[in-house]
Structure 1
Amino acid sequence: MAQVDLNKYRPYIIVGFIVLFALLTLWTRGIPSEGLVTAEGVNLLGNDPWYSLRQVEQTVANFPSYAWFDTMTLYPSGDTIHWGPLFAQIIAALCVLAGASTRPEIMVVASWVPPLMAVAMVPVVYLLAKKIADWKTGLIAAGLIAVIGSNYAYRSLFGFVDHHIAETLFSTIFVLAYVVALLATRDISLSRKDLETLKIPVITAALAGIAYLLGLFNMPTMILFALIVAAFTLVQFLLDFFQDRSSDYLVLVNAVVFGVAIIGMAAFGFPHSGFSLIFYTVGHVIAYAALIAGTLALYALSVFLKGRPKYYFPAAVAAVAVLAVAVLFIALPDIYDLLISNLFSFFGERPTTTTVEEARAWSFAAAWATFHWGLVLAAGGAAALLWQNRERVNPAHVFVLIWTGIILASTAAHVRYEYYLAANIALLAAVFAGAVIDTTWKDVARLLGKGSGGKASSSPGTVEKQEEPARKGKKGGKGPEVRKAKVPPKDHPDYLKVGAFAAVVIVTLLFAGTSLQGNLALATSAKYGGIDSQWMEALEWMGENTPDPGVDYYAIYDRNTFTYPEESYGVMSWWDYGHWITFISKRIPNNNPFQHGVSGPNGSSTYFVSTSEEAANRILDNIGTRYVVTDIQLDTGKFHAPATWADPDVGVERFQPYFLVPVSAGSTNYQAVPFYNQDYYLTMVSRLHNFDGSMTDPSSQVIYVEYREEGAANTSLPVITRTEQMNATAGAAAVEAYNRNAPAGSGATLLNMYYQYQGDSILHPLERVPALQHYRLVHETPRNVYSNVGDDGPDLKAVKIFEYVPGATIRGEGIIEVPVVTNTGREFTYRQESVNGTFVVPYATSGWSGEVKATGPYRNAGTGQTFDVTEEDILQGRTIN
């Protein structure tokens, strides 16, 4: 029977598999399109994609110009954009080519770009793995990157229109180009007079520089790869020195790569001032120049110390490094901060970081949940590369290992870098699988050949071997004789190797299959993602029913000359929702998901946890706010975030203290349990969302608690020693009586049970909550968050919009009331107790055309006197009587 020569068709087979993996990638990433595409466009995933679409719309309208300053966010200053134009311009160019001009059309085109970039990753990873090992490894890596999960999969889904997948793609292209440059230049010498030999090395290094610029023009985070190159350069110089090998190639590659980067950056310009590396500043040029200078310094040291004891070189490097850092710290503190301080801060973590999901530290449990068996395979791949370099070091392998180590450290510090790490995991897992298959294939072939009665086939790796010269080092015939002695007889396979082959194939398939299954589940669930319907309803209402801020949504403004028009205003909400407000409502949020406008005396965190309306009003006055938007999540599950941003040292425990309580009655085991205290009910977010700004009396039943302080009890938290449920008046009296004569280290207080998303304890304060005088509800969404408790339960809506108004003044004593009906038909009574003989009321009883209406006049509950208040009275801050 004629045998087919597969080597002849290998290129076609490889292309076929790459196309297959690319189509698999496109299919899995495109699944969310079934549910996210609507008549209005695409219900994008997450928060940041909505801002990316805002940028795309702006770029399409002004193509190819890009806005480095945005007036439609962070009122009243506007916000500086710190990432590059490449991602938005790629999408805008595709929209122009496709003739997509309406918002729905632009959204659909843009939503397909991340899946297409994930498709592009397949051949890029194949080529990288092929350069590192061989074509078999390349195909395995291409298959794994097609199915690998994590943030990488999520951020390349249809509808997740953000530059993260572009970061991964362009940085991996740079790694590929840098590896190609290393392999092309590793045997050159700078002392050669024949410049023709430098032609290919210079071209490949220049292409690597261009690849770096592509990544940089997408995101300044590309500077991380300059750090990777710097670390690799230091390690490789040490390895070359100890192996008596010239490092000329490193000087050439780094000088050309970052020389191109400097030229490109200078041509690109510096839209930002200062030296920061997270912006496009001259700091990048300084950093790249420092990298080139450092490479030259290492080269000079290696030449000077050539022939001397090996330990001289690392000792000299350490001494020069310490001296350089000291000089920078003393003489050039700005450069020190640029190059050294930023490095430490990048890998550090602040308390507020825990409130940002993608910036949190990575745990082993999260790592295993994401990459599972891929971690084992990748560790094996790293070990395989180390083993292959035990005699003669391949700089490309060293670079891949250092690249992986730094990306792994970055991910450990900030989980968002999982989408970078996916390429490393796929590559190293493939390296290990390919190495094992290559080593064991002959024995597997013998087993298969023996079982079939035919002749065993040759190894699929016999045609192509990487680094063959590295395996030649034995003199005479001893090498072949030793290898021959270790190889089993020709007709009998080594069953240990056969077992290793089977184990690696099974684990690799398990990794790929589990990842694919997870991706399919992720993509399927994403069909139902996007903005919550209640938020969409609220923001669409805001865009149609609030005054235009007077700023052209599509225009590009110059930061130095722009001023907001008199009629402009800001919208206060939590930072999560800032981009939604910009894109859907075309209104200007006071803060945004870049965490700008969140901290500080005028930050949203300070505002929402303020227990003083007077202090909260000053914040809104300072930043020009007219509307405040709250939701049930900020009120409950996300409440810890503003509390932590407002006071990182204390955090949420100021409002939701933890106590140790027995696990069960009579138990000596304790558990930490959170409770609500009165301060929580006095926060602005609680008074607005839970009580509609109305005065609210305490619950009929509260929990009276006696406790031992942590110091007295020798525990990490206070320990509750006694609880009793009683009415609020009796509870307040009991607390006062106990604390008057409390034993040392003991105390009493009133608490309510803590519920994150269920239970109505958030509606029942422990003491009276005073009314807000300058806030009126103007819209609420239909859904009742307590809809599962029946018609007789509380009615609290998911999202509420309040208008901040001057309010009208009414003179009088006691309590004043006005009945209100909302746009959903919910009825409540706004109540307020007089302060210094006056009431300041926010609702108009006439002349108001809004959806939330007062259905009668204000009435003094004590005197029965009634008052009519017009809309003009409210807006002008008039005194009625």
Structure 2
Amino acid sequence: MPPFDEKQRNILIAGALILLSLFALWIRLIPMAGLTAAGVADVLGNDPWYNLRQVESLLANGLTYAWYDPMTLFPTGDVVYWGPLFTQIIAGLALLTGATTHLDIAFVASLVPPLMGAAMVPLVYFIGRRVADSTTGILAALFTAVISGQYLYRSLFGFVDHHVAEVLFSTLFALAYIVALSAGREERIELSSIGTLKRPLVLGALAGVAYLLGLFVMPTMILFAMIAAVYTALQFVLDAWHGRESLDLAVINTAVFLVATVGLLVFGFKEAGFGLSRYTMGHVVAYLAIVLGTWVLFAIARATRERPKYVYPLSLAGLGIVGALALMIAAPALYGVLVGSFFSFFGQSAVVLTVQEAMGWSFDGAWQAFNVGLLLMIGGFAVLIYDLFRKDRPDHLFVIIWSAVMLASTWQHVRYEYYLAVNIALLSGIFAGFVVSAGWKDVQTLTSSPAPEKTETKGRKKADAAKAPARKGDARNVLAVAGVAVVSLLFVLMSVQSGMAVAEASGYGGMNPQWRQALEWMAENTPDTGVDYYGIYEKETFEYPDTAYGVMSWWDYGHYITYLAQRIPVANPFQHGVTGPNGSAAFFMQQEEAAAAEIMENTGTRYVITDIEMDTGKFWAMATWYDPAVAQKGYLDTYLIQESGSYNRVQLNTPAYYRTMVSRLHNFDGSMAEPSQVVYVEYTEAGVSGFSAPVITNAMMLNGSEAQAKADAYNANAPAGKGAGLFGTDNNLTLPPEEVSALQHFRLVFESSRNVYNAVTPDIKYVKVFEYVQGARIAGEGTIEVDLKANTGRTFTYRQESVNGVFVVPYSTSGNPYGVTATGPYRIVGTGQTIEVSEDAVMQGLTVG
């Protein structure tokens, strides 16, 4: 078969890239059917809801970006710390397509991540071709099209967040920087010759523009400036070792980071200080430091070029130590920011570990995301390092540094996995391409026909020569190509299988319908805050109107509240409003209503929203945010129980759990609850049993009084290291092990339709909304109760014991504007006395009866 000419080859490559891009787009569009089936705006995750809000704000304000938002983080409002480019791209497309409704805007916005994901395919191809050849480029593009993990999920239809834009523009910068580096090595540069400077300056400036695009998406683009800085230092050391000047790199870095500096100055600083996670002066300092540092490296290299090779790296090490000390003394604030940013980036904390994307990367997670691609990645590193010692290839060193930093970043925070996917695809392509190129001639010998050897011999010797056998291929090379082909095919097939599963499941991964019910109700049935939802405000001059109030819930749901209910959450998914004495963690973990009520007063909060996830699966996260040292210990305790000859872990709910605000609200609707059936447990403490957790030696279900008496009797004479206790379980959260007192200032005003445990008989509902009220005061002793009917038709009784001869009750028996209403008057148990309570009395704290 004749070889393809260059034109045919380019057509085939273009066709392959189009097909791969279309496949990448198709797999990312799979969730579309599920997310649009209900005919309402629906997206994946938490942050995408806020991006929809930003897009709608841009459309309502002529594409003007709001850097401060009073519709979240009540009562201060929150600053926006990321850039406008991603949402402005969406808003521009919405204008072009005429999208104006919530549904249409959400649909257009949901299309942008898949389109960006598809655009990554040719981008990675060009990097692969630049650092190796077109075969490597195609293989890298193939892996990019199919690779799964966080990279795929965050570029799916419906995941309207800037992550894929971060990857797109940072990869574009990497390509532009690599092109500039390669061009710089192709010609001799002289400072005295403007003509020789033109090309590296232009290419460097273009790389600077690509950098700015990434920066205008997210200030964490500074990570790529750090990568360039590390690369620059190592490249200078290598060049000095080989006796080569790095003037080209100095010129390129100057162009890149002066463009970045000017661009950011035009863009403007959005916060004071030097923090690198925000748009501050710190970025300009960092960029100028890279430019100055590059020329210092150049000057030292020139000054030491006649000295022994080891002098240059030792000089740099000494200069680095002196520079760090000088910065620490001369500018301690800036030094603290730099060091703090480094350790916060590469460190972990108990609180951070409650945030999924901030957790560290595990081997299981890595294998699940990239499977055998991890092996190909290792091979790619090996090829680049091997070539680094054989060839003068600055682009190879840059890819090594880029990939290593991304690997380290992902190891610390799994969110960077979506960055690392590009490096794994590229390195896998480099390794597979290297093996194929090295062994392809040997593979071809298996299918080619024998060819005569060239000879000048005449007569019989010439005839014998014509029968000479063809060269046999090296079996090792053939096996290497076959092995890489098999591993690459496995990588593709396993990635496609994983990606299909993720994409199909994501079609059902939009907002929980129970939350949608609750927030649509809240939008229609709670007072307007008086803050213009689409308004743009300045933080320094904005003041909330007297009608404004906050909504307390866990931070996961903050953007839901802002977008769907158009109300103002106290905490949001930026993890703001969570910690501190008035944070949502403190509120939901409080054991005393008075302390919780103080938080409501301090924050100006009127409504509280709970769900079963906060009550169970997310409880540990709330406990950890509240007190990282203790976390869930003392609320949800782990014990070991022997079953079938082995020990299994069980989780038991302590009395302290049932006294938390989240439990008292969601499990008991704020009513008093008494123990009926409880779990009685006898156990051996961990230190005595020799296990990591206490071991249960006896357990049974008993009624409350019997269980308490039995525990008291056992503990009175318990041997050392043994004890007994009363617990509850998640199987029935309405059965506390001890009495739980009633809440006086919180009333249920709405609950969603779904039962948590039983689809037929009423039980705990999935989402509940409560209102904070002053409570009407009634004189009396004993227990007061009132029968209530929820908006779902569920009936329950609110009960409360008097305190110092007074009842403070949160439900009115007349005038209640909500769907949870009293079916009769209050009654004081055992007295025959009934009391009617007006809505005004509840809201104003009046005395009645």
Residue 832 of structure 1 aligns to a residue whose secondary structure is strand
Task: Report the Cα distance in structure 2 between the residues aligned to 1:39 and 1:353, rounded to whole angstroms.
Answer: 35
Aligned residue number for residue 864 of structure 1? 832
The residue type paired with residue 726 of structure 1 is L
What aligned pairs does 1:526-545 form with structure 2 within 5 A after superposition?
526-545=506-525
Q: Any conservation in 1 of the 2:99–2:108 contact (CA below 8 Å)? A: yes
Aligned residue number for residue 438 of structure 2? 439
How far the C-alpha of 1:402 sits from its partner, in A, is: 0.5
Q: Any conservation in 2 of the 1:63–1:92 contact (CA below 8 Å)? A: no
The residue type paired with residue 629 of structure 1 is I
Task: Report the Cα distance in structure 2 between the residues aligned to 1:140 and 1:63, rounded to whole angstroms.
Answer: 43
Q: Any conservation in 2 of the 1:32–1:527 contact (CA below 8 Å)? A: yes
The residue type paired with residue 848 of structure 1 is N
How far the C-alpha of 1:52 sits from its partner, in A, is: 0.5
The residue type paired with residue 605 of structure 1 is A
Task: Report the Cα distance in structure 1 between the residues aligned to 2:452 and 2:176, rounded to whole angstroms.
Answer: 42
Aligned residue number for residue 733 of structure 1? 709
Residue 633 of structure 2 aligns to a residue whose secondary structure is helix
Q: Which of 792, 803, 807 is the matching residue for 1:824?
A: 792
Task: Report the Cα distance in structure 1 between the residues aligned to 2:380 and 2:415, rounded to whole angstroms.
Answer: 23
How far the C-alpha of 1:738 sits from its partner, in A, is: 4.0
Q: Relative to structure 2, which stretch is displaced further, 710-719 or 557-566?
A: 710-719
Q: Any conservation in 2 of the 1:72–1:586 contact (CA below 8 Å)? A: yes
How far the C-alpha of 1:238 sits from its partner, in A, is: 1.4
Question: Cα 1:297–1:490, aligned 2, differ >3 Å: closer, same or farther?
Answer: farther
Aligned residue number for residue 51 of structure 1? 50
| Count of residue correspondences | 835
What aligned pairs does 1:522-601 form with structure 2 within 5 A after superposition?
522-601=502-581
How far the C-alpha of 1:388 sits from its partner, in A, is: 1.6
Name the Cα RMSD after superposition: 1.9
Aligned residue number for residue 465 of structure 1? none
Aligned residue number for residue 764 of structure 1? 735
How far the C-alpha of 1:740 sits from its partner, in A, is: 4.3
Aligned residue number for residue 464 of structure 2? none
How far the C-alpha of 1:721 sits from its partner, in A, is: 4.1
Question: Cα 1:309–1:663, aligned 2, differ >3 Å: closer, same or farther?
Answer: farther
What aligned pairs does 1:848-859 form with structure 2 within 5 A after superposition?
848-859=816-827
Residue 653 of structure 1 aligns to a residue whose secondary structure is coil
The residue type paired with residue 608 of structure 2 is V
Task: Report the Cα distance in structure 2 between the residues aligned to 1:288 and 1:195, rounded to whole angstroms.
Answer: 24
Aligned residue number for residue 753 of structure 2? 782
Question: Cα 1:774–1:455, aligned 2, differ >3 Å: closer, same or farther?
Answer: farther
The residue type paired with residue 783 of structure 1 is R
What aligned pairs does 1:687-702 form with structure 2 within 5 A after superposition?
687-702=664-679
Q: Any conservation in 1 of the 2:727–2:736 contact (CA below 8 Å)? A: no
The residue type paired with residue 693 of structure 1 is G
Residue 651 of structure 1 aligns to a residue whose secondary structure is coil
Does residue 801 of the first structure (1) align with residue 742 of the second (2)? no
Aligned residue number for residue 652 of structure 2? 675
Q: Relative to structure 2, which stretch is displaced further, 141-150 or 396-405?
A: 141-150
Task: Report the Cα distance in structure 2 between the residues aligned to 1:306 and 1:295, rounded to whole angstroms.
Answer: 16
How far the C-alpha of 1:785 sits from its partner, in A, is: 0.9
Aligned residue number for residue 462 of structure 2? none
Residue 652 of structure 1 aligns to a residue whose secondary structure is coil
Aligned residue number for residue 469 of structure 1? none
Aligned residue number for residue 75 of structure 1? 74
Aligned residue number for residue 392 of structure 1? 391
Aligned residue number for residue 360 of structure 1? 359
How far the C-alpha of 1:64 sits from its partner, in A, is: 2.1
Aligned residue number for residue 162 of structure 1? 161
The residue type paired with residue 631 of structure 1 is D
What aligned pairs does 1:169-568 form with structure 2 within 5 A after superposition?
169-187=168-186, 191-450=190-449, 490-568=470-548
The residue type paired with residue 64 of structure 1 is L
Residue 785 of structure 2 aligns to a residue whose secondary structure is strand
Question: Cα 1:105–1:847, aligned 2, differ >3 Å: closer, same or farther?
Answer: same
Aligned residue number for residue 612 of structure 2? 632
Task: Report the Cα distance in structure 2 between the residues aligned to 1:820 and 1:236, rounded to whole angstroms.
Answer: 75
Query: Which structure 2 segments of 5+ residues have no match?
Result: 454-467
- For residues 539-569 of structure 1, the C-alpha deviation after alignment (integer angstroms, 9 at most, x for no partner) is 1111111111111111111111111111111
Q: Any conservation in 1 of the 2:189–2:196 contact (CA below 8 Å)? A: no
Task: Report the Cα distance in structure 2 between the residues aligned to 1:379 and 1:305, rounded to whole angstroms.
Answer: 36
How far the C-alpha of 1:519 sits from its partner, in A, is: 1.4
Task: Report the Cα distance in structure 2 between the residues aligned to 1:5 and 1:156, rounded to whole angstroms.
Answer: 36
Aligned residue number for residue 662 of structure 2? 685
Does residue 748 of the first structure (1) align with residue 719 of the second (2)? no
How far the C-alpha of 1:19 sits from its partner, in A, is: 0.8
The residue type paired with residue 845 of structure 1 is T
What aligned pairs does 1:646-685 form with structure 2 within 5 A after superposition?
646-664=626-644, 667=645, 670-685=647-662
Residue 158 of structure 1 aligns to a residue whose secondary structure is coil
Task: Report the Cα distance in structure 1 between the residues aligned to 2:185 and 2:264, rounded to whole angstroms.
Answer: 27
Q: Relative to structure 2, which stretch is displaced further, 198-207 or 743-752?
A: 743-752
Q: Any conservation in 2 of the 1:704–1:726 contact (CA below 8 Å)? A: no
Aligned residue number for residue 717 of structure 1? 693
Query: Which structure 1 segments of 5+ residues have no match?
Result: 457-487
- For residues 5-34 of structure 1, the C-alpha deviation after alignment (integer angstroms, 9 at most, x for no partner) is 443311111111111111111111111111
Q: Any conservation in 2 of the 1:814–1:833 contact (CA below 8 Å)? A: yes
Task: Report the Cα distance in structure 2 between the residues aligned to 1:724 and 1:525, rounded to whole angstroms.
Answer: 40
Q: Any conservation in 1 of the 2:149–2:417 contact (CA below 8 Å)? A: yes
How far the C-alpha of 1:429 sits from its partner, in A, is: 0.5
Q: Any conservation in 2 of the 1:42–1:159 contact (CA below 8 Å)? A: no
- For residues 400-455 of structure 1, the C-alpha deviation after alignment (integer angstroms, 9 at most, x for no partner) is 011000000110111111110111011110111111111111111111114xx789
Task: Report the Cα distance in structure 2 between the residues aligned to 1:144 and 1:455, rounded to whole angstroms.
Answer: 41
Q: Relative to structure 2, which stretch is displaced further, 563-572 or 698-707?
A: 698-707
Q: Any conservation in 2 of the 1:707–1:722 contact (CA below 8 Å)? A: no
How far the C-alpha of 1:39 sits from its partner, in A, is: 6.3
Q: Any conservation in 2 of the 1:702–1:766 contact (CA below 8 Å)? A: yes
Task: Report the Cα distance in structure 2 between the residues aligned to 1:39 and 1:518, rounded to whole angstroms.
Answer: 26
Q: TM-score, normalised by structure 2?
A: 0.96
Task: Report the Cα distance in structure 1 between the residues aligned to 2:282 and 2:2, rounded to whole angstroms.
Answer: 62
The residue type paired with residue 529 of structure 1 is G
Question: Cα 1:213–1:661, aligned 2, differ >3 Å: closer, same or farther?
Answer: same
Q: Relative to structure 2, which stretch is displaced further, 291-300 or 509-518?
A: 291-300
Residue 848 of structure 2 aligns to a residue whose secondary structure is coil
The residue type paired with residue 413 of structure 1 is Q
Task: Report the Cα distance in structure 2 between the residues aligned to 1:829 and 1:763, rounded to whole angstroms.
Answer: 13
How far the C-alpha of 1:693 sits from its partner, in A, is: 0.4
Residue 649 of structure 1 aligns to a residue whose secondary structure is coil
Aligned residue number for residue 99 of structure 1? 98
Residue 422 of structure 1 aligns to a residue whose secondary structure is helix
How far the C-alpha of 1:747 sits from its partner, in A, is: 3.4
Residue 636 of structure 2 aligns to a residue whose secondary structure is coil
- For residues 190-229 of structure 1, the C-alpha deviation after alignment (integer angstroms, 9 at most, x for no partner) is 5442210111110000000111010000001101111111
Question: Cα 1:650–1:138, aligned 2, differ >3 Å: closer, same or farther?
Answer: same
- For residues 788-827 of structure 1, the C-alpha deviation after alignment (integer angstroms, 9 at most, x for no partner) is 5x54xx6111000111111100010000000000011100
Task: Report the Cα distance in structure 2 between the residues aligned to 1:253 and 1:260, rounded to whole angstroms.
Answer: 11
Q: Relative to structure 2, which stretch is displaced further, 294-303 or 770-779?
A: 294-303
Q: Any conservation in 1 of the 2:813–2:822 contact (CA below 8 Å)? A: yes
How far the C-alpha of 1:724 sits from its partner, in A, is: 4.6
Q: Any conservation in 2 of the 1:705–1:750 contact (CA below 8 Å)? A: no
Q: Any conservation in 2 of the 1:187–1:249 contact (CA below 8 Å)? A: no
- For residues 128-170 of structure 1, the C-alpha deviation after alignment (integer angstroms, 9 at most, x for no partner) is 1111111111111111111110111011111111000000000
Task: Report the Cα distance in structure 2 between the residues aligned to 1:251 and 1:740, rounded to whole angstroms.
Answer: 79
Q: Percent identity?
A: 52
What aligned pairs does 1:830-841 form with structure 2 within 5 A after superposition?
830-841=798-809
How far the C-alpha of 1:862 sits from its partner, in A, is: 2.5
Q: Any conservation in 2 of the 1:705–1:751 contact (CA below 8 Å)? A: no
Q: Any conservation in 1 of the 2:361–2:412 contact (CA below 8 Å)? A: yes
Residue 344 of structure 1 aligns to a residue whose secondary structure is helix
How far the C-alpha of 1:520 sits from its partner, in A, is: 1.7
How far the C-alpha of 1:392 sits from its partner, in A, is: 2.7
How far the C-alpha of 1:231 sits from its partner, in A, is: 1.2
